[in-house]
Chain A
């Protein structure tokens, strides 16, 4: 059950490059990454590609397959016709290093700008107590495997290099939401989310959700709730009035703004 796949791969570096043909034997049950590996082993030993687990768990083999951001290890060949040409290019939102490998430093920079979890003291017996329903929302976001496909597809930075400074991207809005919903965290990061992270740049066109290989509802469950939380703090006169007359929602008590 094998056939010759019409595979095209972008090869080059920051000086330039082009899409080249690499016809390659593939067989039933294989994924795009298998085909890439076969090209590497038989036709182009120096073809640069990142990969690790080959099981959709580490988020290393991110690339664009026929123009769509995908994990190559989760992109089954059976989803394509046998005579269909498959074009694989590096992620187009990040600077290219070589072949399919891009410089994803942007994401690691943004990670540093985000104040991490800061919990209060433990309970008297040295343990912490949190209800399952209170951690579930955060757990959805912590499924993120940091493949950075959401960051790649997001037009805010993909199409506007100059926005990179002011915009953290969907992956980090997930993180802001996770921390803001953490039942024991003591920091209020709403101001940061809106200011430094550029939450307002997002126009919720949902491409991040479309490409997420973990199926995280980035827009509906993280970004929009985060926007609403910023509205609570920023634009909502009812909340402002409540604070003024002492009708404060105790749910948010004990948090300090960072």
Chain B
């Protein structure tokens, strides 16, 4: 180490963004001190940072991309919140019930309850901060229909709700003057083993500037992980390059555990053509606003795939399904709006049965059902997306779509009320936390999740930091050296493999073997392949130097992708049933016994792989059980 600075943004850098040219400071190490460090600047990270700041904590946001580019911008449909603006009958209890049923009762009941209760106020807050939602005729926030929700309850802005949300939170964070470290990747969470009662508490984090390669040490008693998901481990995915499971891996390496990792949501409707955008999301709102699914024979096949569990609330004739859009009281929902796992499986079966489209998808048709004006008004981004990328006019022809890896239900095991993991001072929120969505997430529940638990995590992280007073956990200099060595390791190797190749092989392998339909043999094969990838990754080579070097960045992210992939494959192999986002060809139905427990994974003692054990679900209190009688 040549230089260390104490606290506060470094000289020559902007105090808010911290982003400035610094190629000349390559050898140095920055040091900053905060109460709360939030890793990730998507909806959850920003909301957490705002809450922490409001609670009086000195807060920093550290994010891999520029501020405002996080994956939340891709969310299209809306924020599920039982505000009752369209349906006065709607309330948190109905929302809670929908969430639990959508997750096949595997959700952490307390998280589902808190989410349903607090989401409406979190949405109103966004409006206070300048968000412009679509309105009802009475001038209230409009709410739209979505799969698995009994009432129209998604607060939305056309089909770009995620963009509205992130921009609003970003503008709020900027207005509050919260420090943001943009294009900065966290590679380790530090613990102080001597502090606290257990195996140590959080002391800080280690990161590097993507721009300069310069390292940063954060001294902070609270670290909130809000890093999103793991989708980049799969080939066909709607997720961006950032989704490499960083938070999942950081938490595990710090000693926390992950739950529900076998549950990966494949969104039923992703683009299948052209190849360069394969996997890109087509919003569920297309179906919510009247779109239907057809196979190559022109048949509206979803009526053949209504599961027993949802028979009572799903229309079984075309007439009833079509009448529902206008009269929701006297008709049941169209089967196209079943929860995502059901629809994705149905599409998968149709394609496998040879009734797919020329590009290997099925048809999603709204052109023949709604006027071009309606489509352009309600689905502007979709119209734009297909027009620009596929040269398809969705007001005139059907879209070709197929399932795409979209979301991981699994994540860091946290306390429902505080979002704290098993490690004191380490919090996880949003997609990288687990439990809220059980085995399958309902559309619209993600954005609500980010806001509700972002706020809770920020507040609790802040009050924990405040409770420490002057005696804070200390970062061990030996840990800093080790973190630095580990980050620079890819430059030390000679004659190894290029990280891009390993990543691409991993994505293909996960897609083929741990995809939407799984079997024992393929999962075992996948675990063997992951072991082989680990060996290859230990000798990867990076060309060039540390300044803005994507090869190096990928090499570091790849370690996280590998460990997370192993968690998914291992948990998927263990769970011998089909439920929500986990479908086993060799165990096609749900199993009551499995419905009572979560699978928990930890890093093994050597730190080279993962261990897995079963854990009983938290018991729901009787008054809530009443909703499912």
Contacts and interface: CB of A to CB of B under 8 A. Distances in A.
A13 B26 CA distance: 15
Contacts of A131: 135, 139
A103 B18 CA distance: 12
A235 B129 CA distance: 32
B19 interface: yes
A31 B276 contact: yes
A31 B549 CA distance: 22
A142 interface: yes
B68 interface: yes
Given A53-B71, A105-B20, A142-B167, A116 B132 contact: no
B171 interface: yes
Interface stretch (B46-54, B539-547, B563-571, B611-619): B539-547
Given A45-B544, A55-B389, A112-B174, A119 B130 contact: yes
Interface in A226-242: none
A219 interface: no
A182 interface: yes
A46 B543 contact: yes
A45 B498 contact: yes
Given A45-B498, A142-B164, A145-B163, A59 B69 contact: yes
B135 to A, nearest CB: 4
A146 B68 contact: yes
A60 B66 contact: yes
A66 to B, nearest CB: 18
A52 B16 contact: no
A56 interface: yes
B369 to A, nearest CB: 23
Query: For the side of the interface on B, what is the size category?
Result: 35 or more
B124 A122 contact: yes
Interface stretch (A132-140, A198-206, A250-258): A132-140
Query: For the side of the interface on A, what is the size category?
Result: 35 or more
Contacts of B85: 127
B388 interface: yes
Contacts of A108: 14, 16-17, 19, 67, 174, 182
Interface in B203-252: 211, 240-242
B65 interface: yes
Interface stretch (A22-30, A81-89, A154-162, A188-196): A22-30
Nearest to A148: B66
A145 B21 contact: no
Query: Does more than half of chain A's interface fall in helix, strand or loop, or is it mixed?
Result: loop
Interface in A24-42: 27-31, 33-34, 40-42
B135 A130 contact: yes
Contacts of B174: 108, 111-112, 116
Nearest to A181: B132
Contact of B132 (A58, A60, A138): A138
Contacts of A135: 132-135
Nearest to B133: A135
A143 B161 CA distance: 10
Given A14-B23, A29-B276, A58-B240, A128 B124 contact: yes
Nearest to A128: B127
B465 interface: no
B164 A97 contact: no
A182 B128 CA distance: 12
Interface string A50-67: 111111111110000000
Interface string A85-125: 00000000001011101011100110110011101001000
Contacts of A29: 273-276, 390
A48 interface: yes
A163 B130 CA distance: 29
Interface in B127-163: 127-130, 132-135, 138-142, 157-158, 160, 163
B551 interface: yes
B157 A45 contact: no
A74 interface: yes
A132 B241 contact: no
A45 B140 contact: no
A145 to B, nearest CB: 7
A224 interface: no
A52 B42 CA distance: 13
B599 interface: no
A126 interface: yes
Given A27-B275, A57-B381, A97-B211, A139 B158 contact: yes
Contact of A46 (B21, B141, B158, B550): B550
Contact of B157 (A30, A53, A142): A142
A119 B276 contact: no
A49 interface: yes
A35 B273 CA distance: 17
A179 B275 CA distance: 40
Contacts of B317: none
B385 interface: yes
A46 B544 contact: yes
B478 interface: no
Contacts of B158: 139
B387 to A, nearest CB: 11
A5 B80 CA distance: 46
Contacts of A53: 69, 71, 73-74, 240
Name the residue among A40, A53, A103, A135 with the largest chain B CB count within 10 angstroms: A53
27 contacts: A13-B547, A41-B504, A45-B551, A46-B543, A46-B550, A48-B547, A51-B241, A52-B69, A60-B69, A99-B548, A103-B20, A103-B21, A105-B17, A108-B14, A108-B19, A111-B171, A116-B174, A117-B129, A132-B135, A132-B139, A135-B135, A138-B132, A139-B132, A144-B167, A182-B132, A185-B130, A215-B384
Interface of A: 13-14, 27-31, 33-34, 40-42, 45-60, 74, 76, 78, 95, 97-99, 101, 103-105, 108-109, 111-112, 115-117, 119, 122, 126-132, 135, 138-139, 142-146, 179, 182, 185, 214-215
Given A53-B74, A56-B389, A112-B177, 11 more contacts: A14-B21, A41-B501, A51-B241, A52-B71, A55-B280, A58-B74, A60-B69, A101-B211, A117-B171, A127-B141, A131-B135
